[in-house]
Amino acid sequence: MKRLAVVVFNLGGPDSPQAVQPFLFNLFSDPAIISLPQPLRWLVAKMISGRRAPVAQEIYHHLGGKSPLLEQTQQQADALAAALTEGETEARVFIAMRYWHPMTDRAVAEVKAYAPDAVVLLPLYPQFSTTTSGSSLKLWQQEAARQGLTVPTQAVCCYPAETGFISAMVETLVPLLRQAMETGTPRLLFSAHGLPKKVVDGGDPYQAQVEQTAAAVIRVLEQRDPQWHGLDWQVCYQSRVGPLEWIGPSTDAEIERAGRDGVPLVLMPLAFVSEHSETLVELDIEYGKLAADSGVPLYLRAATVQSHPDFIGGLAGLVRQTLDWPQGATPRPDGGLRRCADRWGKCPCQP
């Protein structure tokens, strides 16, 4: 029987109030997040994590003192392993979190002990960014080399319009859109985590891929039901920090605009596949209050796809397709090695 190891990557989150500051320090120590040389980056990470820890601890207080991300990622991993184990293939799915446990060094050691015939790396970020998937995959390569893991390994770089992912979002959205129609003509906001504008200007394809995801959702909505033709929708970005200019429009500004327009809102977090502080606190609590204060007549937030069968089935399909590619290739779901326009020079796939 062949052994397949799939490694899923995610951000990670603190598992106790005491873990908040070291989690933040790990985040801001990442050169993909703050591109200063050492020791300046260490000093800046220490300063920012110390300053932001009390605010972040208050955020996680709403979540029982810790992030729910690991438990949900484990559920996704279990569902994916079940979907991939068939016939002569035994599949085991490992978790590598970027900034808190279980971290990449542990995942590499576990994969090495499992002794698989092949490894597929699968970021749980549908849209590629150097700050998320790029950072995680780079660290995996470094750690695998350090530990001497030499099993044939391939990576899925992105899947912004993968059919199972899109279908799972559409199924979640339709009941909420119908509910919102009882209040008025709804507006659909697709909210994604933001990035500094200089990162995108430097060739990062994330924003373009977020827009691909939103367009794919709208396309499927229209195909499934003509009533969604002409739906009012907008892509926007949340979670701005620091003084830099960030990509926009911002989610909070779009909520305020909906209040001025008097339209009900349905908000879909399209770059997150699990619930965590940015959805359960920022979107639900903080933006929920902003919507009420701004006069939005109805504010509904769609759940992330989590372990939706269509999403898990889509991930399983990506893994199977990846195994058919030659060593070192990084496939895209529609049959090529690059989905990004030439201007996105940070795309990891060859043109």
Annotation: binding site: 193, 278
Going by the annotation, the residues of the binding site for Fe(2+) are 193, 278
Name residue 234's beta-bridge partners.
189
The CA-based angle 279-96-126, given to 5 degrees, is 50
| Cβ-count burial 93-116 (b if 16+ within 10 Å, e if not) | bbbbbbbbebbbbebbebbbeeeb
Instruction: Give the tokens for residue 21.
Output: 């500051």
- Find the length of the chain: 351
The rounded distance, in Å, linking the Cα atoms of 273 and 310 is 12
- Strand intervals (E) in the chain: 2-10, 89-97, 118-123, 153-155, 187-193, 232-238, 265-269, 299-301
| Helix 20-29 with 40-61: angle, nearest 10 deg | 140
The rounded distance, in Å, linking the Cα atoms of 313 and 129 is 23
